[in-house]
């Protein structure tokens, strides 16, 4: 079964809203923008719903696809 995870495209303004609303603590803020850890993302969509610049998008991840949680 595929899992919905969320990714951040270019244009993140580092406001931290996504990080503050994430119940799974899956969002990390770096110098080049927010990053959502697929292994921790529970697919709730709160990050996307609350992003003021609308740069977070859903993505389907296959169960066989490795997570890039480095």
The domain locations on the chain are: 3-61
Domain boundaries 3-61, CATH class: alpha beta
- Provide the 8-state DSSP code for 8: E
Three-class DSSP category at 12 = coil
pLDDT in tens, 6-61: 999 989 999 999 999 999 999 999 999 999 999 999 999 999 999 999 999 998 87
Q: Confirm whether pTM is higher than 0.85.
A: no
C-beta atoms surrounding 27 within 10 Å = 23
Pairing assessment for the beta strands 27-30 and 33-36 based on DSSP bridges = antiparallel
């Amino acid at each position: 079964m595929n899992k919905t995870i969320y990714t951040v495209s270019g244009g993140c303004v580092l406001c931290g809203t996504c990080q503050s609303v994430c119940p799974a603590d899956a969002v990390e803020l770096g110098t080049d923008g927010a990053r959502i850890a697929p292994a921790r993302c529970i697919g709730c969509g709160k990050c996307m719903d609350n992003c003021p610049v609308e740069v977070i998008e859903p993505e389907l991840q296959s169960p066989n696809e490795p997570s890039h949680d480095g």
